[in-house]
């Protein structure tokens, strides 16, 4: 049941996601990894790719928050909360790495956030089975996207690679968790729509 208190709490979380620094309980995966001597164009490429990943994590925050607002089963709510905590760590790792590379975060993050929050809330409203199926498919697509980044990142940029690799492991874990909780396999057109949506976001966030 939606109530004003929950909406205010989630609104506050949204503001914090967008405007304050995220923190990680686990050590950053690139802690202790040596910085490679990247040239300017490599640095720029890495920063742009990590900016895309940061925007993806902004979306993940909003999706999980939207779902937490509307998911009905308390067990599902608890599991979503646990996964969301890992997503907050991803947010911290990617933001830190973008800044380390001399890059900036996407100026469109408030837009990505709002769109994903609405999507998450909608998925939560159509019932836990579809909500979890949607979550699982999202995490699968994010996993595939992260794999493609491992090919695109400069080979020597071991720091960014360490972050992306750990995120990949976590996202696949989230996908499996959602299916284990009773997620349904989405119809192919829904998966396709989600892929198109993801492509628009990644292409735009790469530039701005
Ligand atoms: Fe993530
Ligand atoms: Fe995830």
Q: How many angstroms from the chain centroid is the CA of residue 50?
A: 12
- Centre of ligand 1 to C-alpha 61, Å, is 8
Tell me, in angstroms, the distance from the centre of ligand 2 to residue 120's CA: 13
Mean pLDDT to the nearest integer, 113-140: 87
What integer pLDDT is reported at residue 194 of this predicted model? 86
Ligand 2 centroid–CA 140 distance in Å is: 9
Kind and range of the H or E element at 206? helix 188-207
In the chain, helix, strand, coil percent, each to 5? Answer: 75, 0, 25
Gap from CA of 144 to ligand 1 centroid (Å): 12
Residue 101 and residue 97: Cα distance in Å, rounded? 6
Least distant ligand from the CA of 138 = 2
Q: Mean pLDDT, to the nearest integer, of 128-133?
A: 88
Q: Is the pLDDT of residue 140 over 60?
A: yes
Distance 143 CA to ligand 2 centre (A): 8
Assigned token pair, 89? 């760590």
In this prediction, residue 3 carries a pLDDT of 66
Among the bound ligands, name the one nearest to the CA of residue 83: 2
pLDDT at 197: 83
- Could you say which ligand is closest to the alpha carbon of residue 79? 2
Tell me the whole-structure pTM to 2 decimals.
0.90
Inform me whether the pLDDT recorded for 11 exceeds 60. yes
Q: Are 105 and 57 in contact (CB under 8 A)?
A: no
Kindly state the tokens that stand for 49. 């790719």
Per-residue pLDDT band for 8 (boundaries 50, 70, 90) equals: confident
Residue linked to tokens 């720029």: 44
What is the average per-residue pLDDT within 38-57? 95
From the CA of 172, which ligand is nearest?
2
Ligand in nearest proximity to the CA of 89: 1
Confidence at 131, pLDDT banded by 50, 70, 90: confident
């Amino acid at each position: 049941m939606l109530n004003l208190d929950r909406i205010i709490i989630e609104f506050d979380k949204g503001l914090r996601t967008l405007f304050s620094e995220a923190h990680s309980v686990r050590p950053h995966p690139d802690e202790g990894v040596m910085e490679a001597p990247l040239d300017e164009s490599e640095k720029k490429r890495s920063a742009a790719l990590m900016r895309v990943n940061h925007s993806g994590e902004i979306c993940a925050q909003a999706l999980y928050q939207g779902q937490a607002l509307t998911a009905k089963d308390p067990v599902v709510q608890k599991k979503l909360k646990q996964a969301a905590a890992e997503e907050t760590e991803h947010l911290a790792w990617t933001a830190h790495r973008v800044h380390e590379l001399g890059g900036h975060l996407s100026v469109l993050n408030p837009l990505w956030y709002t769109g994903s929050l609405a999507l998450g809330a909608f998925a939560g409203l159509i019932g836990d089975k579809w909500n979890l199926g949607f979550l699982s498919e999202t995490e699968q697509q994010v996993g595939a996207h992260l794999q493609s980044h491992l090919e695109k990142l400069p080979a020597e940029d071991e720091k960014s690679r360490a972050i992306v690799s750990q995120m990949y492991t976590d996202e696949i874990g989230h996908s499996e968790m959602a299916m284990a909780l009773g997620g349904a396999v989405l119809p192919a057109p829904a998966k396709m729509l989600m892929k198109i949506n993801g492509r628009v976001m990644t292409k735009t966030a790469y530039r701005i």
